[in-house]
């Protein structure tokens, strides 16, 4: 036999072997994805608690509720003077309001001792705690100090201030018991700031999935070593390891395996034993030297599920499942390897990490509300993205102020207002720069009044894979958003002053109502307040509060459902503290618990959280307004089903929320 004849026979044998183990079956991408989803159910393999200092890039394994209020007290947002807003009425440069200064300077960290009485004020710095009796801060730029005739230090205030002006109210950013982050949330610097702000030193996170990475081929050489003609550096292992880390995985690089079936099989066994997923690159085609597909063919349970996808690049992709673990052989060419990795493997690693899908970086959207700005400074407005009625994106401003942690942490992105503009009109198209990795519009948009019962329902939906975005703007704000078609659901508890009925009188033909649950509203006060000792009814508690002019009330903000109830309760009375307005039930409880006020109206669940006594006034109906055009969307239908679910109702009742007594 001549050398040429011997070579010809060897080539023929190789060709016969290649034909015999052919199992390449090119299928559409959709079918490949369906097979993978049918045979693989990737979930995180466990959780662990890690210090906050090393939590960036990890994924929360449980919902996190705030153990404290942020801010923890009413604080000044500017340098100036703590005053009673009512005392500044009519102040002007020509006729200033004159105040006698108390003898203390309220810098951050100082607890006030002097109470602000009529005609008195205290010096306060930005971040300083507001003293009892004060409900506003006059900016130092609008004041002038002088000596009084008796030697006392006076301050002239030359501009009136409204209640709450330049005050960051306790709990206005984050309220105790509020769910600040949910399971599955990727922790970036923004979320770390929020967790630190509520005092958490460690958090529960999903364990990083271990991804074994193997490179195959006699021609592959590790970077950093000498190379000879015919060899190539192994770029796939490096890029796959980096991409794995970006997705929250832990790469286990097992090195380069030559074109030897026994060696590759041993390496594959090591990878399956040590990792949650095994990645190989190269050797998946049908060339004579490609052996990876033959090794993978030995797997079972169920074994190879895909070998060949109608992609360019990426046709020879091979996918197998063994013992609930994915084994993927990616094409050897780097472009093909990364294309198939991001198309098929990245979603699996993300789910093993507990992550959700990543968004695009920039999107166009429409501003539904006019936004004002200060001329002379470029302003970046934080927004949440949601679907508008025409199917486009609406950018809903979410800012709570420069000191609010959640302003940045809860935003999807931001847009820029140029320094020469004072307003961006409603309906303006804006270019939103996305932040974070989850700025896709949610499946369900909820705008309105916050409630821990609603938090509970949202948690169920998100565990089912429904993405929910909730903006807590109050009942009136939620109702307005529903009328504009900017949300799927608005949580409201608005009482009609004329009829005393909740929510139904505020509906329009374009809106419908999903019945929610009852919340008990009542008067709250401290356990050690002797003025309320023995009060067993709301009437007795109110009489005790109004009988003592030193007893300070904390009111609710105008437009809230509770404010309507309060006005009916007071019947025109304006007790001390009437102008002090909290924006939530938590805000009321904070003020009373911290002795900045002595009584207010809140719900019983919040009163229990703060250890306050509660005397019931009446049940209020907390319902959900839905634009009729959104009623049949899958997410809204699922929400409605939860409200009818007996097990869910029992859990809500255990939280203190009773079933409604009246049908819509």
Would you say residue 439 has pLDDT above 80?
Answer: no
Would you say residue 139 has pLDDT above 70?
Answer: yes
What confidence tier does 297 reach under pLDDT thresholds 50, 70, 90?
Answer: confident
Judged by average pLDDT, the poorest of 154-158, 411-415, 608-612 is 411-415
What confidence tier does 400 reach under pLDDT thresholds 50, 70, 90?
Answer: low
More confident residue, 306 or 25: 306
Q: What is the pTM of this model?
A: 0.68
* Average of per-residue pLDDT across 298-318: 85
* Average of per-residue pLDDT across 377-388: 74
Q: Would you state the pLDDT for residue 253? A: 93
Would you say residue 339 has pLDDT above 80?
Answer: no
Both ends of the chain: CA-CA distance in Å? 95
Choose the final residue of a domain: 327, 353, 379. 353
Rounded to the nearest integer, the mean pLDDT of the chain is 86
Q: In what helix (H) or strand (E) does residue 648 lie, and over which residues does it extend?
A: helix 646-654
> How far is it, in rounded angstroms, from Cα 448 to Cα 624?
9
Looking at the structure, tell me whether residues 202 and 221 fall in a common domain: no
Q: Would you state the pLDDT for residue 513? A: 95
Choose the final residue of a domain: 413, 434, 455. 434
Give the position of tokens 């198309």.
343
What confidence tier does 21 reach under pLDDT thresholds 50, 70, 90?
Answer: very low
Q: Would you state the pLDDT for residue 22? A: 44
Looking at the structure, tell me whether residues 213 and 278 fall in a common domain: yes
> How far is it, in rounded angstroms, from Cα 412 to Cα 396?
10
Looking at the structure, tell me whether residues 55 and 197 fall in a common domain: yes
Would you say residue 496 has pLDDT above 90?
Answer: no
Would you say residue 140 has pLDDT above 70?
Answer: yes
Would you say residue 4 has pLDDT above 80?
Answer: no
Give the position of tokens 């649950």.
517
Domain count, the chain: 5
Answer yes or no: is 191 within a domain.
yes
Would you say residue 3 has pLDDT above 80?
Answer: no
Would you say residue 203 has pLDDT above 60?
Answer: yes
Q: Would you state the pLDDT for residue 227? A: 83
Domain boundaries, position 600: 519-620
- Taking the alpha carbons of 389, 394, 397, 398 in that order, is the dihedral positive or negative? positive
* Average of per-residue pLDDT across 61-74: 93
Answer yes or no: is 633 within a domain.
no
Looking at the structure, tell me whether residues 145 and 215 fall in a common domain: no
Q: 592 - beta bridge partners?
A: none
Would you say residue 359 has pLDDT above 60?
Answer: no
| pLDDT > 90 in the chain, percent | 54
What confidence tier does 332 reach under pLDDT thresholds 50, 70, 90?
Answer: confident
Looking at the structure, tell me whether residues 235 and 308 fall in a common domain: yes
* Average of per-residue pLDDT across 561-572: 87
Q: Would you state the pLDDT for residue 402? A: 42
Would you say residue 288 has pLDDT above 50?
Answer: no
Would you say residue 528 has pLDDT above 70?
Answer: yes
Looking at the structure, tell me whether residues 530 and 606 fall in a common domain: yes
User: How, if at all, do strands 379-387 and 325-330 pair?
Assistant: unpaired
Q: Would you state the pLDDT for residue 437? A: 53
* Average of per-residue pLDDT across 583-609: 92
Measure Cα distances from 45 to 75, 206, 466 in Å: 44, 8, 22
Looking at the structure, tell me whether residues 51 and 200 fall in a common domain: yes
Query: Collapsing DSSP states into helix, strand and coil, what is residue 213?
Result: strand
Query: Collapsing DSSP states into helix, strand and coil, what is residue 555?
Result: strand
Looking at the structure, tell me whether residues 196 and 249 fall in a common domain: no
Answer yes or no: is 628 within a domain.
no
Q: 625 - beta bridge partners?
A: 490, 513
Task: Tell me how far the alpha carbon of residue 377 is from its chain's centroid.
Answer: 29
Tokens representing 446? 């909820």
> How far is it, in rounded angstroms, from Cα 489 to Cα 481?
9
Looking at the structure, tell me whether residues 60 and 197 fall in a common domain: yes
Choose the final residue of a domain: 181, 206, 231. 206
Q: Would you state the pLDDT for residue 631? A: 92
Q: Would you state the pLDDT for residue 26? A: 81
């Amino acid at each position: 036999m001549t050398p040429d004849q011997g070579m010809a026979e060897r080539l023929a044998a190789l060709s016969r072997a290649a034909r015999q183990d052919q199992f390449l079956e090119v299928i559409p991408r959709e079918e490949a994805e369906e097979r993978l989803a049918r045979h693989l159910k990737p979930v995180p393999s466990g959780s662990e608690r890690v210090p906050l200092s090393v939590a960036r890039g990890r994924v929360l394994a449980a919902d996190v509720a705030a153990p404290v209020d942020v801010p923890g007290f009413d604080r000044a947002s500017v340098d100036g003077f703590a005053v009673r807003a009512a005392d500044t009425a009519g102040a002007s440069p020509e006729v200033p309001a004159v105040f006698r200064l108390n003898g203390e300077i309220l810098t951050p960290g100082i607890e006030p001792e002097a109470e602000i009485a009529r005609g008195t004020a205290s010096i306060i710095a930005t971040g300083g705690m507001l003293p009892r009796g004060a409900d506003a801060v006059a900016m130092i730029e609008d004041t002038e100090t002088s000596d009084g005739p008796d030697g006392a230090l006076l301050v002239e205030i030359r501009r009136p201030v409204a209640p709450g002006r330049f005050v960051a109210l306790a709990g206005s950013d984050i309220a105790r018991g509020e769910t600040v982050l949910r399971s599955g949330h990727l922790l970036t610097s923004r979320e770390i700031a929020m967790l630190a702000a509520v005092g958490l030193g460690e958090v529960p996170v999903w364990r990083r999935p271990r991804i074994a990475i193997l490179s195959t081929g006699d021609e592959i050489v590790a970077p950093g070593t000498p190379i000879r003609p015919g060899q190539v550096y192994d770029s796939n292992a490096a890029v796959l390891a980096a991409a794995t880390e970006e997705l929250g995985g832990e790469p286990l690089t097992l090195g380069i395996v030559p074109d030897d079936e026994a060696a590759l099989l041993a390496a594959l066994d090591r990878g399956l034993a040590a990792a949650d997923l095994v990645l190989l690159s190269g050797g998946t085609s049908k060339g004579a030297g490609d052996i990876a597909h033959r090794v993978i063919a030995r797997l079972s349970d169920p074994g190879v599920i895909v070998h060949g996808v109608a992609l360019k690049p990426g046709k020879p992709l091979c996918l197998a499942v063994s013992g609930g673990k994915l084994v993927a052989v990616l094409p050897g060419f780097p472009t093909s390897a990364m294309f198939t990795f991001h198309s098929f493997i990245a979603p699996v690693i993300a789910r093993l990490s507990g992550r959700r899908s990543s968004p695009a970086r920039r999107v166009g959207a429409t501003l539904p509300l006019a936004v004002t700005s200060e001329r002379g400074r470029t302003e970046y407005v934080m927004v949440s993205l949601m679907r508008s009625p025409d199917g486009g994106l609406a950018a809903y401003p979410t800012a709570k102020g420069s000191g609010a942690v959640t302003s940045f942490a809860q935003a999807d992105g931001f847009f820029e207002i140029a320094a020469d503009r004072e307003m961006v009109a409603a309906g303006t198209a804006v270019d939103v720069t996305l932040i974070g990795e989850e700025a896709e519009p949610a499946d369900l948009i909820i705008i309105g009044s916050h409630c821990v019962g609603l938090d509970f329902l949202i948690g169920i939906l998100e565990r089912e894979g429904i993405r929910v975005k909730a903006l807590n703007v109050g009942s009136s704000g939620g109702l307005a958003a529903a009328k504009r078609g900017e949300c799927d659901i608005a949580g409201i508890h608005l009482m009609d002053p004329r009829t005393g009925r909740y929510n139904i009188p505020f509906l329009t033909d374009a809106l419908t109502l999903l019945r929610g649950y009852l919340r008990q509203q009542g008067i709250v006060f401290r356990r050690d307040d002797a003025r309320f000792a023995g009060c067993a009814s709301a009437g007795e508690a109110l009489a005790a509060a109004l009988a003592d002019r030193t007893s300070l009330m904390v009111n609710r903000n105008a437009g809230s459902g509770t404010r309507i109830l309060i006005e009916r309760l007071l019947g025109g009375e304006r007790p001390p503290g009437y102008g002090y307005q909290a924006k939530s039930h938590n805000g009321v409880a904070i003020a009373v618990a911290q002795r900045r006020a002595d009584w207010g109206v809140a719900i019983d669940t919040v009163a229990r959280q703060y250890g306050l006594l509660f005397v019931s006034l009446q049940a209020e109906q907390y319902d959900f307004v839905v634009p009729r055009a959104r009623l049949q969307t899958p997410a809204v239908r699922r929400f409605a089903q939860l409200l009818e679910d007996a097990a869910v109702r029992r859990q809500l009742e255990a939280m203190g929320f009773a079933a409604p007594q009246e049908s819509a």
